[in-house]
Structure 1
Amino acid sequence: MGHRSSALAVRPDHEQMEQNVINEAALLESKTLRDSALERTDVLDRVKALSLLPDGMHVTTAMVAAYFQVGIKAIRSLVVDHREELEANGYRVLTGSELSSFKELSGIQSRTASLALFSRRAVLNVAMLLRDSEVARQVRTYLLDMEYLARTQPVDNPVHRDAASPSLDDRIDQRISHVLGKTVVPMFNALIETSSEHRQELIALRAGVQRIERRLQQHNARLQRLEGPRENRPLAGVMASMDAMNGREFEEHVAQLLRRDGCTAVVVRGGGGDRGVDITGRTPDGRHLAVQCKRFAPYVSVTSSHVQKFIGSAKVLYKADVALYVATCPFTRDAMNVAADGGVTPVDRSMLEAWSSGTELPALS
Structure 2
Amino acid sequence: MVHEGVLVESRTMRASVAEHTEALDRAKTLSLLPDGMHVTTRMVADYFEVGIEAIRSLVKDHRAELSENGYRVLTGAEVESFKDLTSLDKYTGRHLALFTRRTVLNVAMLLRDSIVARHVRTNLLDTEQWARTASTTAPVDNSVIHNLVAWLDARIRETVAHQLGQHDARMTRIAEDSVRTVIGQTVVPLLNHAIRADDERRREISDIRREVAAIDRALRARMPVGGMAAMDAMSWREFEEHVAGLCRRDGCVSVANTSRTSDLSADLVGRTADGRTLVVQCKHFAPYRKVESGEMQKFIGMAKVEYTADIALFVTTATFTPAAVDLAVRHGVTAVHRGLLERWSAGRALQVLR
Greater Rg over alpha carbons, structure: 2
Question: Does the TM-score normalized on the shorter chain lie above 0.5?
Answer: no
Which bracket does the TM-score occupy, shorter chain normalised?
A: 0.3 to 0.5
TM-score by length of 2: 0.44
TM-score by length of 1: 0.43
